[in-house]
Amino acid sequence: MRAWFACTGAELLARDPRDTIGRLAAAQQSRGYAGSVDQDYAWQQQLHALAVAIAEAGGQAWTIALEYDLLRLEKRIDAVVLTDRAIIAMEFKTAAASSATLAEAEDYALDLRDFHAGSRSHPILPVLVAGTGGFAPPVQPPLIWHGVTQPIACGSGGLGAALRWVQSTAPEPATPLDGAAWLDAPYRPVPTIVEAATLLYARNGVREIATARADAANLTRTAQAIRDAVALAQRDAAKIVVFVTGSPGAGKTLCGLNAIFGEARMDGAAFLTGNAPLVTVLRAALARDAVARGDCKRPEAERRVKAALQNVHRFLEDNARPGLMAPPPERLIVFDEAQRAWDEAKAVLGTRNKPSTLTMSEPAHTLDIMGRHAGWAVIVALIGNGQEINTGEAGLSEWGRVIAADPRWRAVAAPRAVQAAEPAQRLADPGAPWLRIDPALDLATPIRSVRESAGAAWVDAVLRNAVAEARDIAAGCAALPFLITRDLDAMRGELRRLARGQRRAGLLAAAGAKRLRAEGLGVQVEDVADWFLRRWPDIRASDALETIATEYDCQGLELDVAGLAWGGDFIRGEAGWQARRFIGAAWQRDLKEFDFVRNTYRVLLTRARYETVIWVPRGSVAATPFHDPTRDAATYDGIAAFLEACGARPLAAPAPVQDEAPVLLL
């Protein structure tokens, strides 16, 4: 049971409040949280308000759950009241209600809807108890009591009236809510990558990090397969490369972070990635959390996270310096997006800003550096199938070549690694003597999408021009999480409507979509950590919906709801999709870069945990004054028509933009 204490309404009225507070304090201590006089006083006030309200509303038969843990949010609901008709999630505040505290209460209710199995068939009402005032019922009560209703606010003196209003307004259910069964129902959160990293880093592994769907159990199997490979390497003093393959959003990064921060955490382990935004965001989030928990001061927090999360290119260059033969401190490294490791030509070339010290491909240097250890060493290589988005990426075949050439190393991988149709993404031919096959190392079930697991398959069908297949996938969904509009304001309005509570929204676009600036959407995010971690009304936050993140800013990260601005770089032609590059003042067809551009849209279309709203610009109509052929309306019409034919759901009408604070019902 996730509640610190639970009882019936009758038991709450009969109990000595001091005993209940003592039980809450004991639960608090057992979970490693420090107690305080202020907390005890807050519990005293809440229990008094609840007791008066339960007696006034006749709720003796109801179930009361106090301090209900929400693992995903690292927070707790102050109280959950389970009547026979509704689930009421209560947040108590001493200050007056605000839009921020209403959103907090709503977020708790949304978390129950999405991840608590006992909450899916009953209405959930967020209630903010702020101050000591009364309760004024909403002018318009909910028309549909299903899912999470809009939050309401009342003072502690009006809580009883609010509970009576719920019981008189909510329809009588066909099956009354069973409080005891609700308490026993599983709570399986799907954390965001930032939330998961924070939990793992703070707790040395979180057993409760699970998924909301039973069909994603292979996440646990994959994590165990990685642990088994590490244990085997330690036992045999062996050097092993563990290849983890998977679909977009299937949990590869989570498995990699678990290997570094989880229950098997050890000194000398690091998560390496060439994804600079991912490093920036996770470092900032982990350092902020460590400081907030009082674990250490900011300089020390930043030092620790820099050791655990490193840029892979800097790691290789630092350890490949001429004459350096010492092994690195790390015996276990996770190489994120290993299929994107640089080939020899790219590695030797370096970048415009920094000449390279590398002399081989990045896979070759990785094996050489980690091979210096006497005894065991493990490289966990995370492979994002279909996510190659740049030139100079070596692919899986380079990893296979260098492992085969170095007798110190062996490997374990899923069957997918040897079955790829494209030679560059095939690790080896079947039967390679240095390779062991383990099906548990393939993550085939997307878990990023919280309510609908078919999103990645639909995206794949769309990008393969498989209209009938995409349409069938859409028809099999309760609600395909892809909507389409031709109106930019409508997209923004819909994103704000969908991003309830504290859900995060943001705008995405391809780096090659250069002509979006003519539509008023061309400013790219400047500080990616601010974009992903700050919140509106901070205009630097993603949910200000002002700046766009490209595939380079968001790969490996995610949003709750995403708005994808479709650019002129990926359009429809007679033979299907075509890639273009904007050069000078015109578009040029780009056959060489087709796979990279297509994978760019695969990345962008799979960033959302809930819905993705696709905006296809209307463009410039031919034969009109000042026609702009770089934004031809007919081209955009063809894209929109194809997406609708594949099953994307049109927005019926522009949703109103809600810039004003919600009305507080006091």
Integer-rounded Cα Rg, in Å, for the chain is 27
Q: Say if residues 102 and 89 touch (Cβ distance below 8 Å).
A: no
Q: Say if residues 117 and 214 touch (Cβ distance below 8 Å).
A: no
- Residue 192 has a CB neighbour count (10 Å cut-off) of 20
Task: Collapse the DSSP code of 79 into the 3-class scheme (helix H, G, I; strand E, B; otherwise coil) and give the result.
Answer: strand
Please give the Cα distance from 323 to 291 (Å, whole number). Answer: 39
Alpha helices in 396-518 (DSSP H): 396-404, 416-419, 455-463, 467-475, 488-498
Which pLDDT belongs to residue 588?
94
Give the pLDDT band (50/70/90) at residue 43. very high
Q: Say if residues 459 and 626 touch (Cβ distance below 8 Å).
A: no
Which pLDDT belongs to residue 660?
35
Q: Say if residues 441 and 242 touch (Cβ distance below 8 Å).
A: yes
Task: Collapse the DSSP code of 242 into the 3-class scheme (helix H, G, I; strand E, B; otherwise coil) and give the result.
Answer: strand
pLDDT of 318-352, one tens digit each? Answer: 998 887 889 999 999 999 989 888 888 888 876 54
Which pLDDT belongs to residue 253?
84
Q: Is residue 657 predicted with pLDDT exceeding 50?
A: no
Residue 239 CB contacts under 8 Å (≥ 6 apart), including other chains: 233, 370, 371, 373, 376, 377, 378, 408, 409, 410
Please give the Cα distance from 101 to 131 (Å, whole number). Answer: 12
Please give the Cα distance from 68 to 122 (Å, whole number). Answer: 18
**Angle at the Cα of 543 from the Cα atoms of 87 and 212, rounded to 5 degrees:** 40
Please give the Cα distance from 57 to 83 (Å, whole number). Answer: 11
Question: What tokens appear for 151 in the block?
Answer: 């939050």
Task: Output the CA–CA distances (angstroms, integers) from residue 545 to 234, 519, 539, in the order listed.
Answer: 49, 14, 8
Residue 137 CB contacts under 8 Å (≥ 6 apart), including other chains: 162, 165, 169, 665
Give the pLDDT band (50/70/90) at residue 276. confident
DSSP 281-318: HHHHHHHHHHHHTTSS-HHHHHHHHHHHEEEHHHHHHH
Give the pLDDT band (50/70/90) at residue 263. low
519: alpha, beta or left? (left if phi > 0; alpha if psi -120 to 50): alpha
Q: Say if residues 442 and 571 touch (Cβ distance below 8 Å).
A: no
Residue 86 CB contacts under 8 Å (≥ 6 apart), including other chains: 122, 123, 124, 125, 145, 166, 170, 177
Question: What tokens appear for 474 in the block?
Answer: 């859409």
The residue type at 399: W
Reduced DSSP (H G I as helix, E B as strand, rest coil) percent helix, strand, coil of the chain, to 5: 40, 20, 40
Cis, peptide link before residue 191, omega less than 30° from 0: no
pLDDT of 385-395, one tens digit each? Answer: 655 545 567 78
Which pLDDT belongs to residue 663?
31
Q: Domains (ranges, CATH) in the chain?
A: 3-184 (3.40.1350), 217-276+310-443 (3.40.50), 455-650 (3.40.50)
Please give the Cα distance from 69 to 151 (Å, whole number). Answer: 20
Question: What tokens appear for 343 in the block?
Answer: 């080939």
Rounded to two decimals, the pTM is 0.80
pLDDT of 539-594, one tens digit each? Answer: 999 999 999 999 999 988 889 999 999 999 999 999 999 999 999 999 999 888 89
Cross-strand bridge partners of residue 70: 75
Which pLDDT belongs to residue 73?
64
Q: Do the strands 649-650 and 239-246 form a parallel or antiparallel pair, or are they unpaired?
A: unpaired
pLDDT of 294-309, one tens digit each? Answer: 888 989 988 888 888 9
Question: What tokens appear for 478 in the block?
Answer: 């309760």
Q: Say if residues 528 and 277 touch (Cβ distance below 8 Å).
A: yes
Please give the Cα distance from 618 to 464 (Å, whole number). Answer: 24
**What one-character DSSP code corresponds to residue 448?**
S
Q: Is residue 316 predicted with pLDDT exceeding 50?
A: yes
Q: State phi, psi for 492 to the nearest 5 degrees.
A: -60, -45
Q: Report percent pLDDT > 90 for the chain.
A: 61
Q: Is 347 exposed, middle or buried (0-12, 13-18, 19+ CB in 10 A)?
A: buried
Which pLDDT belongs to residue 621?
93
Q: Is residue 223 predicted with pLDDT exceeding 60?
A: yes
pLDDT of 583-642, one tens digit each? Answer: 999 999 988 889 889 999 999 999 999 999 999 999 999 888 889 999 999 999 999 999
Q: Say if residues 599 and 555 touch (Cβ distance below 8 Å).
A: no
Q: Say if residues 59 and 9 touch (Cβ distance below 8 Å).
A: yes
Please give the Cα distance from 200 to 159 (Å, whole number). Answer: 38
Please report how the helices 362-370 and 396-404 are oriented relative to each other, as an axis angle in degrees rounded to 10.
40
pLDDT of 194-204, one tens digit each? Answer: 887 787 777 64
Please give the Cα distance from 160 to 169 (Å, whole number). Answer: 14
pLDDT of 464-478, one tens digit each? Answer: 999 999 999 999 998
